[in-house]
Structure 1
């Protein structure tokens, strides 16, 4: 029970660090940030929902899988991947009215770099604890 309250601040710290990292990396001005972050957060929530669906599809494929069921799951996964692509196109279209196309282009790289840094920090921390 004590771990639950601890996780919330960590999530808040993580999101604050992501905001700072991306804002800095893309040189997002305060005026841009005011409009950008609500759009980004909505996009990210929608994206995570779709990624959860893909994860559920992948989990449902564990164990023996008939060819018929595999075809169905492949079709479902492609449908969700198409939704992901449509979501990203829509998001990029909307944010380029807020930030420059160059900033928008660099966004996915900044996200990957942030995630990579988190992973590396986690690896280093895990290495010390073991």
Structure 2
């Protein structure tokens, strides 16, 4: 019965994601999207209530930290398309490598912490489940765009 309820929640939140799309050119409803992600990941990893209570704060903090580092890497990548000197390029390479190392270090710490909240099997599945959610949202968004063009 719990599985059925979780599946229903995932479907409801996925549907609410489509409804949360704003008109032409506006962004999505971030709260509804994150609620859908929580339901999807919780269901796919089969998180128990006590696991979810410990897991989500760790995951949210890791995601926030990772996002900041990825933004900095993206900024370096964008600025590399400008006219730069060899010296500046070397500096940018070192900065990007340093940020990538920080990403790896954060992931190691996250995995150590998260495996105290969830099983190692659930932890290893997390990356794939998260990508699966992103792909599903992308497909739903693309399907919504096609439907709105008619």
Decide: shared fold, TM above 0.5: yes
User: Does the alignment pair 1:24 with 2:43?
Assistant: yes
User: Does the alignment pair 1:78 with 2:97?
Assistant: yes
TM-score for both structures, normalised by structure 2? 0.78
> 4+ residue stretches of structure 1 with deviation over 6 A?
none
Q: Which blocks of at least 5 consecutive residues in structure 1 are unaligned? A: none
Aligned pair count?
A: 125
Residue in structure 2 matched with residue 42 of structure 1 by the alignment: 61
Within the candidate set 134, 142, 148, 1:115 is matched to 134
User: Does the alignment pair 1:97 with 2:116?
Assistant: yes
CA apart distance, 1:127: 1.6
Change (3 A) 1:103 1:56: same
Q: Choose 95-104 or 115-124, whichever is displaced more.
A: 115-124
Please report the RMSD computed on the Cα atoms of aligned residues, expressed in angstroms. Answer: 1.6
CA distance in 1, matches of 2:95, 2:71: 13
CA apart distance, 1:7: 5.4
CA distance in 2, matches of 1:60, 1:126: 31
Cα deviation per residue 1:46-73 (whole Å; 9 max; x = unaligned)? 0011011111111222222222211111
Q: Which blocks of at least 5 consecutive residues in structure 2 are unaligned? A: 1-21
TM-score for both structures, normalised by structure 1? 0.90
CA apart distance, 1:128: 2.0
Residue in structure 1 matched with residue 52 of structure 2 by the alignment: 33
User: Does the alignment pair 1:55 with 2:74?
Assistant: yes
Q: Choose 116-125 or 105-114, whichever is displaced more.
A: 116-125
CA distance in 2, matches of 1:16, 1:67: 46
